Structure 1
Amino acid sequence: MQKGRVIQSTGSWYHVDTGKEIIESRLPGRFRLNEKEVTNPIAVGDWVEFELNDDGTGNIDKIHDRENYITRQATHGKRGEQILVANLDQACVVQSIKKPKVKEGFIDRFLVTCEAYEVKPVIILNKIDLAKSGGLEFAEELSELYTGLGYTFLITSIDNSDSLQKLKEQLKDKTSAFIGPSGVGKTSLVNAIDPSYDLKVKEVSDFSNKGKHTTTYAQLIPLSFGGYLADTPGIREFGLVNIEPWELSLFFPEMLEPRQECQFNNCTHAHEPKCGVAQAFEDGEIAASRYNSYLNMLDSL
Structure 2
Amino acid sequence: MQEFIGTGVALITPFKEDLSVDFDALIKLVNFNIENGTNYLVINGTTAESATITAEEKQKIIEVIVKTNNNRLPLVLGVGGNNTLTVVEELKTRDLSNIDGILSVAPYYSKPTQEGFYQHFKAIAEATEKPIILYNVPGRTAKNMDVATTIRLAKDFKNIVGVKEAGNNTQQYLGLIKNKPAGFLVISGDDDLALGVTLAGGSGVISVIGQAYPKEFSTMINHGLEGNNKEGYNIHFKMMDIIDYIFEENNPAGIKTVLQELNICKNEVRLPLVKATHELQSKIANFVSNYK
What TM-score does the superposition give when structure 1 sets the normalisation length?
0.31
Normalised to the residue count of structure 2, the TM-score between the two structures is 0.31
Which has a greater percent of helix? 2
Whose radius of gyration is greater, 1 or 2? Answer: 1
